[in-house]
Amino acid sequence: MPPVLEHRSLANQNVLVAGGTGFIGQVLVRKLEERGALVTVLARSHPLESCARRTLVVDDWQPQALVWALSPHRYDAVFNLAAYGVAPVARDIRQMIQINVDVASALVCAAKACGARMYVHVGSCSEYDATSATSAIAEEHLLQARSLYGSSKAAGTLVACATAAAEELAFVAARLFHVYGSGESGHRLMPTLARRLSAGERVPLSPGTQVRDFLHVDDAADGLLSLACAGMAIGGQHIVNLGTGVATSVRDFALAVSAATRTSPSLLGFGDIRFRPDDVMHLVADTRRLGDLTGWRPKRDVTTGIMQALQGLKT
């Protein structure tokens, strides 16, 4: 296993982060700046507040418009966290293909034109067809062909990787597993549990036997930084799972939130709602490639991560 790569190579580097105002993006930007990177956030509108030193606003995210807007600038590395379809209501097929596929490839071309040495693409575990999975999923696993979001993310990862190869640009795609933490959307599992349990309300849940790979957002950002440094060091194009490799049931995760909030587990309504028709029962990362490339591992187990996330929700 290689030694854990330091993040010093990012100091004084000009770094562009697309999607830097989102849940994971904000944490990544903060960690980049802590390591001395000169960060620019690529956004579609002016944020009310930005933790980045600079924001590049591009209203039109058509691929050619993005290439044109970025061409006068120079960046050493580009991170693409832009995605459409994470929220359940975001189901516009054209936008999904434009952002998840076309923009992903266009940003690779723009990165090359801007002089970048490294491109990090953020993918998703939703790219895998995990319908019948019962063990950890490796990067060679069958990809999704039915879910609009999963298939568009899978297509975006593959097209961006192929574009990087054609452009001879160092490239890493990180397929993130189930990221949680303070700042995530209120409809998601952890904030829903924390909000309703703290109010003494029953939380309607499925039976909770689904097995997941829960990754704290700080570990997700640290993993992206480690992969960027590894990519700079070794070059080439790589698709890598970014998770813990630890299997945790939804039931156990909910019980851990209940314990952390010191609320009665009787408020957890396991079985109050049915499984969704498309619910996957086992989705856990095989992290061997991540370890081989970086020597890095997530720091937080589920209990520690939940405690940290809850502290963030209170502040």
The pTM of the full predicted model, rounded to 2 decimals, is 0.94
Whether the Cβ atoms of residue 262 and residue 200 lie closer than 8 Å to each other: no
pLDDT number for residue 115: 95
d(Cα 270, Cα 246) in Å, to the nearest integer?
22
- Residue 49: per-residue pLDDT: 56
Give the pLDDT score at 7: 54
Q: What is the pLDDT of residue 5?
A: 45
The secondary structure of 249-297 as a DSSP string is EHHHHHHHHHHHTT--GGGEEETSSPPPTT--SEE-B--HHHHHHH---
Q: Residue 214 pairs with which residues in a beta bridge?
A: 178
Closest CA to 129 of 119, 120, 141: 141
CATH T-level topology, domain 8-180+215-245+285-299 = Rossmann fold (3.40.50)
Amino acid at 187: H
Residues of the chain where predicted confidence (pLDDT) is lower than 70: 1-8, 46-53, 314-315
Domain extent listing, the chain? 8-180+215-245+285-299
pLDDT for position 53: 61
